Amino acid sequence: MELTALNMTEIEGLKERPVIIPLGSIEEHGPHLPLGTDILTAIALTKEVAKETDALLAPPIYYGVCRSTKEHPGTIGISPRALRLLIKDVVKSFVLQGFSRFLLFSGHAGSLHMAALKEAGEELIETQKIKKMAICSILDLIDEEMGLVTQNDSHAGELETSLIAYLYPQMVKGSAKEEYPQFPPFMIVKNKRNFWPGGVWGNPQVASKEKGGHFFRSLVRKLVKIVDSVKD
């Protein structure tokens, strides 16, 4: 059930339902995938999960923290502080309305992005009347069951290319070469695009629409289990 479709009378009786907040980014995903890959995937997954559970689906948060891709064309990011403040304000407002169970699911899995979400979650769980809160990204759900061919697949590779081919085939513009970032160990570098020119982390050439359907169903099953644990 989507929050935006409800009126004030209808929402009064739904306070015990878990709230799912989908998050993502506006970020380059190679020359073949749309800038909205992360958030478009998160929206599609959480809509299906909301249908299969009694969860309430909140409007998506489109912008995220993008460190490694910030110099690539099309990446529009926000700071970790901005994300922390936004999440805390949104969740606090839900708590004020009487909700107490939350799943924050991100289609974007950048390390600073996820750290900001978890830091906000830690503060919220300590200071607010929250019964349960789960925070995870799409990469947290990858396991052997998924059947990925590519090792270390992370960004615009086999998984994401397959998902977009399945969910939004008209948005896939060809393919791209297999690529992995070559950042020097432990170093914080300025010109990040020099170490990751194509913006792909994985092998999109082994992606397919059929794989995308399998990945999608597997991810939905995993998210349903998380929602069930938030309800329990």
Terminal Cα-to-Cα distance of the chain (whole angstroms) = 19
For 17-231, which CATH superfamily applies? Answer: Creatininase (3.40.50.10310)
Is residue 232 pLDDT above 90, yes or no?
A: no
What is the token pair recorded at 1? 């059930």
What pTM value is reported for the model?
A: 0.96
**CA separation for the pair 91, 89 (Å, rounded):** 6
Is residue 52 pLDDT above 90, yes or no?
A: yes
Is residue 76 pLDDT above 90, yes or no?
A: yes
**CA separation for the pair 95, 30 (Å, rounded):** 39
Domain ranges, ordered by start, for the chain: 17-231
Higher pLDDT, residue 232 or 161: 161
Is residue 223 pLDDT above 90, yes or no?
A: yes
Mean pLDDT of 50-61: 97
Beta strands, E only, 111-158: 132-137
Is residue 46 pLDDT above 90, yes or no?
A: yes
Residue 90: what are its φ and ψ, rounded to 5°? -65, -50
Locus of tokens 């809509």: 47
**CA separation for the pair 220, 216 (Å, rounded):** 6
- Per residue in 119-156, pLDDT tens? 999 999 998 899 999 999 999 999 998 999 999 999 99
pLDDT of residue 75: 98
Is residue 32 pLDDT above 90, yes or no?
A: yes
pLDDT of residue 59: 98
